């Protein structure tokens, strides 16, 4: 096990390179299952989650090479369309292989993800969608067994624009017979990139980036090459850090993916300057308390909610941070309170009463974004903060301590005995 030890209250200054997006590369890797041949992916972040997905694809029979941010996936000969419990249990995004496997092989056995640290997180939309395309779905021994000789296009309406279900059904529909219309689809940038990647493989998709997506099935797709978009959540995390702690220039971003965060940071009092793909953020002299309600894209991302609460914990005044995507995603709150924050949770809102300053303590991270929130809080706190259970942060942030250290943070990774 490892922990991060942070000596807080130091200014941050300099440039940081933003990595490729975790939530874009994972569905792209799954989509490589749709095609016999070599898919080349550039700007792949070296994360626990990308490695878990690579391991899963290898279990299925895929050949993978991964070095220096380049991944080659050869799914020509796949012999075992199975996603086992131990991998799905580590990473729910493993469920992305379901649609591609059923579409290409007519069968998939994928372990049903359980609940997670912040709620049940069901996959019913994925399953209902595949059933609409004609797949027969059964649950046996905790595994979903999906079968279909040939998927047939249909009209599918999601009750909520789920990112994962939209991606899964689009991938399945690319090889279905006829037209699939998805209403109330997700339009997150990661889904847009997945669609564009599928189109470059020969898929026919209309309405990309809107809530109504039409996929006209084709007989086969061709292998191609793609570069992963920059991670807007990693970028948002560094923007929030800069707003509290100094002057940071983020290199390689897509500013349009961050419009709401930038708007909110300006309200907070930070100065934000965009120059093509770079964004510079300068700390707010006084951090104003600003309410946030998470929403689907282009709204404020739930994946930045925990980091926002960390910033608000030292604001002047009180703010309300509401999560409408996940009702119970507040496991970071008791840990932030250990650092002296004054936050209470009521329903799906956190009431954050700003305090003058945080004071370092030992804390424990419970998921990827909670870890990011605790690191930010540790950087803002006086004294030493130890963030334990940091395997979570490695799932979604590439070398986060090195990136912060380059900006002047006093942060070290240390091995600990269990």
What is the separation, in whole angstroms, between the first and last Cα of the chain? Answer: 6
**Helix (H/G/I), strand (E/B), else coil: 396:** helix
Total residues in contact with ligand EPU, by rule CB under 6 A: 24
CA distance linking residue 411 with residue 390, whole number of Å: 13
139 contributes a contact to ligand EPU by CB under 6 A? no
Q: Shortest gap between Cβ of 93 and ligand EPU (angstroms)? A: 4
66 contributes a contact to ligand EPU by CB under 6 A? no
The one segment of 60-68, 98-106, 117-125, 304-312 that binds ligand EPU by CB under 6 A: 117-125
The residue among 249 and 307 lying less far from ligand EPU, judged by its C-beta, is: 307
The one segment of 139-147, 163-171, 258-266, 346-354 that binds ligand EPU by CB under 6 A: 163-171
Q: Shortest gap between Cβ of 94 and ligand EPU (angstroms)? A: 10
Q: Residue 180 pairs with which residues in a beta bridge?
A: 215
Q: Shortest gap between Cβ of 259 and ligand EPU (angstroms)? A: 16
Q: Cβ-count burial of 213 within 10 angstroms (0-12 exposed, 13-18 middle, 19+ buried)?
A: buried
**Binding mask of the shown chain, residues 301 to 330, with x at each position contacting ligand EPU by CB under 6 A:** -xx---------------------xx----
- Out of 50, 162, 249, 253, the residue judged to bind ligand EPU by CB under 6 A: 162
User: What residues from 319 to 378 belong to the interface with ligand EPU (CB under 6 A)?
Assistant: 325-326, 368-369
The residue among 266 and 324 lying less far from ligand EPU, judged by its C-beta, is: 324
Active-site residue identified among 5, 36, 112, 116? 116
235 contributes a contact to ligand EPU by CB under 6 A? no
What is the DSSP code string of 48-114?
HHHHHHHHHHHHHT-EEEEETTEEEEE-SS----EE-HHHHHH-GGGGGGHHHHHHHHSEEEEEPP-
CA distance linking residue 205 with residue 324, whole number of Å: 29
Q: Residue 6 pairs with which residues in a beta bridge?
A: 385, 411
CA distance linking residue 188 with residue 185, whole number of Å: 9
45 contributes a contact to ligand EPU by CB under 6 A? no
CA distance linking residue 80 with residue 87, whole number of Å: 15
163 contributes a contact to ligand EPU by CB under 6 A? yes
- What is the token pair recorded at 381? 């706190």
Edge-to-edge strand ranges of the sheet holding 212-216: 155-157, 179-183, 212-216, 204-206
The residue among 30 and 361 lying less far from ligand EPU, judged by its C-beta, is: 30
Q: Residue 183 pairs with which residues in a beta bridge?
A: 157, 212
- What is the token pair recorded at 223? 């292998």
- Out of 3, 4, 18, 23, the residue judged to bind ligand EPU by CB under 6 A: 23
195 a catalytic residue: no
CA distance linking residue 66 with residue 50, whole number of Å: 10
256 contributes a contact to ligand EPU by CB under 6 A? no
15 contributes a contact to ligand EPU by CB under 6 A? no
User: What residues from 169 to 208 belong to the interface with ligand EPU (CB under 6 A)?
Assistant: 190
Edge-to-edge strand ranges of the sheet holding 38-42: 63-67, 70-74, 38-42, 225-227
- What is the token pair recorded at 180? 């699939």
The residue among 92 and 147 lying less far from ligand EPU, judged by its C-beta, is: 92
- Out of 55, 80, 107, 121, the residue judged to bind ligand EPU by CB under 6 A: 121
> Which of 130, 180, 129 lies closest to 159 in space, CA to CA?
129
CB-nearest residue to ligand EPU: 164
234 contributes a contact to ligand EPU by CB under 6 A? no
**Helix (H/G/I), strand (E/B), else coil: 182:** strand
- Out of 155, 160, 178, 412, the residue judged to bind ligand EPU by CB under 6 A: 160
81 contributes a contact to ligand EPU by CB under 6 A? no
126 contributes a contact to ligand EPU by CB under 6 A? yes
The residues carrying an active-site annotation are 116
Residues near ligand EPU (CB under 6 A):
22-23, 26, 92-93, 121-126, 160, 162-165, 190, 302-303, 325-326, 368-369, 396
């Amino acid at each position: 096990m490892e922990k991060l030890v942070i000596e807080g209250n130091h200014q941050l200054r300099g440039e940081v390179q933003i990595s490729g997006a975790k939530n874009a590369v994972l569905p792209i890797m799954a989509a490589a299952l749709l095609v016999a041949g070599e898919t080349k992916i550039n700007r792949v972040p070296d994360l626990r989650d990308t490695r878990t997905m690579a391991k899963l694809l290898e279990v299925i029979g895929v050949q993978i090479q991964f070095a220096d941010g380049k991944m080659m996936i050869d799914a020509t000969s796949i012999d075992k369309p199975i996603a086992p419990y131990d991998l799905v249990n580590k990473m729910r995004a493993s469920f992305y292989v379901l649609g591609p496997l059923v579409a290409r092989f007519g069968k998939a056995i994928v372990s049903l993800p359980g609940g997670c640290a912040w709620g049940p997180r069901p996959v019913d939309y994925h399953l209902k969608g595949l059933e609409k395309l004609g797949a027969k779905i059964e649950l046996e021994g905790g595994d979903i067994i999906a079968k279909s000789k040939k998927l047939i296009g249909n009209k599918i309406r999601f009750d909520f624009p789920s990112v994962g279900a939209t991606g899964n059904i689009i991938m399945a529909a690319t090889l279905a017979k006829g037209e699939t219309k998805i209403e109330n689809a997700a339009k997150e940038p990661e889904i847009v990139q997945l669609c564009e990647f599928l189109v470059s493989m020969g898929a026919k998709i209309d309405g990309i980036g809107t809530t109504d997506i039409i996929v006209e099935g084709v007989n086969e797709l061709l292998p191609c090459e793609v570069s992963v978009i920059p991670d807007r959540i990693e970028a948002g995390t560094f923007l929030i850090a800069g707003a509290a702690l100094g002057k940071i220039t983020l290199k390689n971003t897509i500013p349009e993916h961050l419009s709401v965060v930038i708007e909110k940071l300006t309200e907070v009092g930070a100065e934000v300057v965009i120059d093509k793909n770079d964004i510079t953020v300068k700390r707010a002299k006084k951090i104003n308390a600003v309410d946030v309600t998470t929403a689907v894209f282009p709204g404020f991302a739930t994946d930045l909610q925990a980091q926002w609460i960390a910033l608000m914990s030292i604001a002047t005044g009180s703010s309300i941070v509401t999560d409408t995507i996940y009702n119970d995603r507040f496991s970071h709150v008791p840990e932030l309170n250990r650092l002296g924050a004054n936050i209470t949770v009521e329903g799906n809102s956190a009431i954050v009463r700003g305090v003058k300053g945080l004071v370092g303590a030992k804390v424990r991270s419970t998921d990827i974004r909670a870890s990011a929130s605790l690191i930010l809080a540790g950087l803002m706190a006086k004294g030493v903060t130890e963030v334990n259970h940091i395997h979570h942060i490695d799932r979604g942030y590439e070398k986060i301590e090195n990136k912060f250290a380059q900006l002047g943070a006093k942060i070290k990774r240390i091995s600990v005995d269990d």
